[in-house]
Amino acid sequence: MRRAFRLWSASAAVLASLITISAQPAPSTVALVIANGTVVTMDGARRVLAPGSVAIDGADIVAVDRPDVIAQRYQGRATIEAWGSVVMPGLINTHTHAPMVLFRGLADDLPLIEWLQQYIFPAEAKTVSPEFVRIGTRLAALEMIQSGTTTFADMYYFEEEIAKETKAAGLRAVLGQTIIQFPAPDAKTPADSLARTEAFVRAWHDDALITPAVAPHAMYTLDGPTLMASRDLARRYNVPTLIHLAETEAELKTAQERSKPSPVAYLDALGFLGPGVLAAHAVWVTEPEIAILKSRGVGVSHNPESNMKLASGTAPVPAYLKAGVAVGLGTDGAASNNDLDMFEAMRIASFLHKLQTGDPRAVPARAALEMATIGGARALGMDRRIGSLAPGKRADVIVVSMSSARQTPLYDPISHLVYTTHGDDVETTIVNGRILMRGRKVLTLDADAVLRDARLMSEKVKLAIR
Ligand SMILES: [Zn+2]
C-alpha cells in the first residue's frame, strides 16, 4: 500500500511537471539573441542587468531581461554570446561632417576662421565632388561601425551620395543637405542649395534608416531670408533642421552687426528656433538664452573635442542639463577632432566640464553616457525609436568587450564605458536588427578597398592645397 502510494505520488509529480511544462508556451523563435552580457539599457529606469540578454527580431528589440527569462521565452536563430562584455544601445553622434574624414590631419592648430578660410573652404572648393563624398562617407562609416556609432547627424554637400553610402553600410543617419550663402561644391547659389535640399528631402522621406534634413550652415554664413527659407522648407516637410550655432565669440559680432546681442537672440527674433532644430556647439549662450532654447524645444549637440581643439570655448553643458535641454554629443568633422570615436567624446566631455567648473561632480560618467545615447536621441527627436534598449525600439545595439588589461578589474560598467573604453573595444555593431560588424569584422563594407580609395583621394587633396 505504501509502495503503491509512493508510485502514485511519483507519477503525480511527473504529471504535475508535465502540466507545468505544457503550461509554459514553447519559446518563440526570434532572429537573434545576445546572451549573458552586462546589459546597460539606458531605459527609463536606467536598468543594468548583470547578466542580461536581449532578444531581437526583424528591426526591433523584442525583450530585454535576465538570461533565464529570455531563454525560457525566446530561441534565437542566431546567438551572440556576450559573457564578459557590455551590451548597450549604439552610440549617437549628433554632429559630424562624415566625408571630412578625408581632411583628417590636413591642417591643425589653427583658430576656426583661419582654419576654415585658408584650408577647409579652399580644399573643399577644389576636391569635393560626388566621388569624394562617396569615398569619404565609406571611410567614415567604416570608422563609425568599428567604434560603435549606430546613428549620426551630418551636415555636408552632395548629401544624396552620403545617404546612398550610409544606407549601403547599414548605418542610421539624419542627413542635412548644406545651405550656405557663397558658392558651394554642389550649388552656385543659396537658391540652388534650397532646390537641391528639397529634392533630397522628397527622395529620402520615409526611409527606414535615413532621415533627410535641412542644414543651413550658420547665421554667420547666411543672411536672414535664406535662413528663414531653409527653416520654412524643413517645417513644410516636417524634417529636422541642423545648424551651427554660437560656436565662436566672433559669431557674437556678426549678430551685433545685425542689431542683435547674440546669435540665439538673432535667430529667435527671426522666428527660426523651434522643435526640430538641432543646434551644434551652442557655446556662446547666456543663461536667459538657455531658457529660450529650452522653451523653443531646440536640441543641442555638444562637441567638446572640436571646441577644445579650435579653442572655441566651453559650452555651458551643466546648465543645459539642469535646464532640461536635450543635449547630445558629437565629434564634429574629423578635420577638427580628429576622429569619430564617441567613447573619446564621452570622456572628454566629462573631463572638460569638471575642469571648467572646478567641480569633479560636473558631467559624471552617467551624464556623459546619457548624452551619447538617449540624450542624443532626444536632441534629434528620435527617442521613441532609438537611444535605449527597450522592447519595441529599433535594434541598434553594440557589444563592447570589457576584458582588456585597461578595463580590468571591473567594478562599474558605466565608469569603464566613459573613462577607459576606446572605440576599438567594440566587438559587434547592430543597426535596425542587421549585424554590421561581428567579432571586429565589418560585414557591410570592404575595409581594404575603403582605405585604399581614401589614400588615393588624399593625393588629390594634397595637390589642391599646394
Ligand atoms: Zn560642424
Look up residue 62 and give its DSSP letter: E
Å from CA of 185 to ligand 1 middle: 17
Task: Give me the mean pLDDT over the 239-246 stretch.
Answer: 98
319 has pLDDT over 60: yes
What is the dihedral angle through the alpha carbons of 397, 161, 273, 376, rounded to the nearest 10 degrees? 10
* Reported confidence tier of residue 123, pLDDT bands at 50, 70, 90: confident
Q: Is 287 exposed, middle or buried (0-12, 13-18, 19+ CB in 10 A)?
A: exposed
pTM, 2 dp: 0.94
Look up residue 23 and give its DSSP letter: H
What's the pLDDT at 125?
87
Å from CA of 334 to ligand 1 middle: 10
Alpha helix (H) ranges present in 157-222? 159-169, 190-204
Q: What is the C-alpha to C-alpha distance for residues 9 and 15, in angstroms, rounded to an integer?
A: 10
Å from CA of 22 to ligand 1 middle: 58
120 has pLDDT over 90: no
Task: Give me the mean pLDDT over the 223-247 stretch.
Answer: 98
Task: Give me the mean pLDDT over the 84-104 stretch.
Answer: 98
Å from CA of 35 to ligand 1 middle: 38
Grid cell 554632429 is found at: 95
9 has pLDDT over 70: no
Tell me if the bond preceding 36 is cis, omega within 30° of 0: no
Å from CA of 299 to ligand 1 middle: 15
Å from CA of 313 to ligand 1 middle: 14
Q: What is the C-alpha to C-alpha distance for residues 386 and 379, in angstroms, rounded to an integer?
A: 12
Do 181 and 218 meet the contact criterion of CB atoms below 8 Å apart?
Answer: no
Q: H or E stretch including 369? A: helix 365-372
pLDDT tens column, 369-422: 999 999 999 999 999 999 999 999 999 999 999 999 999 999 999 999 999 999
Å from CA of 381 to ligand 1 middle: 19
Å from CA of 203 to ligand 1 middle: 24
Do 61 and 392 meet the contact criterion of CB atoms below 8 Å apart?
Answer: yes
Do 166 and 210 meet the contact criterion of CB atoms below 8 Å apart?
Answer: yes
What's the pLDDT at 453?
98
Give which of 399, 346, 434 is closest to 51, Cα–Cα. 399
Å from CA of 95 to ligand 1 middle: 6
10 has pLDDT over 80: no
Å from CA of 238 to ligand 1 middle: 23
264 has pLDDT over 60: yes
Å from CA of 332 to ligand 1 middle: 5
Å from CA of 117 to ligand 1 middle: 14
Other beta carbons within 10 Å of 236: 11
Q: What is the C-alpha to C-alpha distance for residues 385 and 381, in angstroms, rounded to an integer?
A: 9
Phi, psi for 350 (deg, rounded to 5): -65, -45
144 alpha carbon, distance to own chain's centre? 9
Å from CA of 50 to ligand 1 middle: 38
Å from CA of 248 to ligand 1 middle: 12
Å from CA of 96 to ligand 1 middle: 6
Task: Give me the mean pLDDT over the 293-316 stretch.
Answer: 97
* Reported confidence tier of residue 7, pLDDT bands at 50, 70, 90: very low
241 has pLDDT over 60: yes
pLDDT tens column, 136-156: 999 999 999 999 999 999 999
Å from CA of 388 to ligand 1 middle: 25
What's the pLDDT at 113?
85
* Reported confidence tier of residue 262, pLDDT bands at 50, 70, 90: very high
Give which of 323, 344, 320 is closest to 334, Cα–Cα. 344
Å from CA of 97 to ligand 1 middle: 6
16 has pLDDT over 80: no
6 has pLDDT over 60: no
